[in-house]
């Protein structure tokens, strides 16, 4: 997969040195990736029931992630891998290597979500993504870091209990588009935002992020929404700066009631606004309403 990502980044004009920085490997390794034929990589991925077109799609998503945040890339890769395990894609290869695993179904039982509450949540988010694509001029409120929809399942406690879109919803020819179906654990960042907000507003189960600027601030005021504005990001604190700032403000006794979260951004962090609802359809309705108000100026 590293080779495919390296070639994707090269096609976007990045130097070998920059690619090595993105991937955390030596420049010599990148040079080898770029000089070698991709056939061996496709063959190895094919052994995991991953066809070339799907592998290219994953490589494209991961290339976007590594440019933004290494942690996001690891999260996306983890979702892709556990998704393959959950649908039994690695079973045939494992059984060839280890015949004693002929009756093993541990991965399917551990990572597969069929027949559970997650199936319904996945359907909800998939339908919400479809409806989002029908919102006129929705791309006008999409941030550069793209959009995602997250939906908490049951008494969600971790990102694995939250369904979202792997690789996020991106702009394609002026429309929002998701290249992968929703999965549990697909968005570490948005899941953490939702889970933290639910400590104060447990009835809120769904979340979407949109761009934030002066016009959006005016929209929030015009719609009578009550924003919670998180504080400054601390570049010296390890981890996600937005999550760290949100945790800090939620610990404050001065935090009043709110129905929208505003992240004004900071060092290398794009401003975002997070909207919440009781279900995935609700956040799409809210996003459509906000888009119309935003376009009105």
Q: pLDDT (tens digit, 9 = 90+) per residue, 186-208?
A: 888 999 999 999 999 999 999 99
Asked if pLDDT for residue 225 goes beyond 50, the answer is: yes
Average pLDDT on 204-228 reads 97
Say whether pLDDT at 87 is over 80: no
Q: pLDDT digit string (tens) for 101-142?
A: 877 888 877 877 554 678 788 889 999 999 999 999 999 999
> What pLDDT sits at residue 79?
83
Task: Count CA atoms within 13 Å of residue 103 on its CB side.
Answer: 0
What is the per-residue pLDDT for 115? 47
Residue 297 or residue 209, greater confidence: 209
Nearest-angstrom CA–CA distance, 252 and 262? 16
Could you give the CA distance from residue 238 to residue 258 in angstroms, rounded to a whole number?
A: 27
**Tokens standing for 58?**
């994953």
Q: 3-state SS of 38-52?
A: CHHHHHHHHCCCCCH
Burial 18-50 (b: 16+ CB within 10 A, else e): ebbebbeeeeebbeebeeeebeebbeebeebeb
Q: Give the pTM.
A: 0.67
Contact, 96 vs 249, CB < 8 A? Answer: no
Which tokens belong to 200? 């104060």
Model pLDDT, residue 113: 59
Average pLDDT over residues 175-194: 90
pLDDT at 47 over 80: yes
- Domain definitions of the chain by residue range: 2-111, 117-296
Q: How many residues does the chain have?
A: 297
Question: Which superfamily is assigned to 117-296 in CATH?
Answer: Class II aldolase/adducin N-terminal domain (3.40.225.10)
């Amino acid at each position: 997969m590293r080779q495919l990502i390296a070639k994707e980044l090269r096609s976007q004009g990045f130097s070998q040195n920059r690619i090595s920085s993105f991937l955390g490997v030596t420049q010599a390794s990148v040079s080898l990736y770029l000089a070698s034929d991709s056939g061996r990589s496709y063959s190895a991925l094919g052994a995991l029931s991953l066809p070339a077109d799907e592998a290219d799609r994953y490589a494209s998503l991961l290339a976007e992630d590594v440019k933004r945040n290494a942690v996001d890339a690891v999260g996306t890769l983890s979702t892709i891998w556990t998704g393959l395990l959950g649908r039994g894609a690695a079973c045939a290869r494992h059984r060839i290597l280890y015949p004693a695993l002929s009756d093993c179904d541990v991965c399917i039982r551990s990572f597969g979500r069929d027949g559970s509450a997650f199936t319904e949540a996945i359907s909800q988010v998939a339908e919400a993504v479809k409806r989002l694509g029908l919102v006129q001029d929705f791309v006008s409120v999409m941030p550069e870091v793209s959009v995602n929809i997250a939906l908490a399942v049951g008494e969600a406690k971790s990102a694995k209990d939250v369904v979202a879109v792997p690789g996020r919803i991106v702009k394609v020819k002026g429309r929002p588009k998701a290249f992968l179906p929703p999965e549990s654990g697909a968005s570490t960042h948005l899941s953490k935002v939702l889970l933290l907000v639910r400590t104060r507003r447990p009835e809120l189960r769904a979340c979407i992020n949109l761009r934030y600027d002066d016009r959006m601030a005016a929209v929030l005021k015009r719609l009578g929404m009550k924003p919670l504005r998180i504080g400054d990001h601390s570049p010296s604190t390890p981890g996600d700066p937005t999550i760290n700032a949100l945790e800090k403000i939620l610990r404050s006794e001065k935090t009043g009631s709110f129905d929208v979260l505003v992240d004004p951004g900071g060092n290398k962090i794009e401003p975002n606004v997070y909207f919440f609802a009781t279900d995935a359809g609700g956040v799409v309705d809210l996003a459509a309403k906000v888009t119309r108000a935003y376009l009105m100026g």
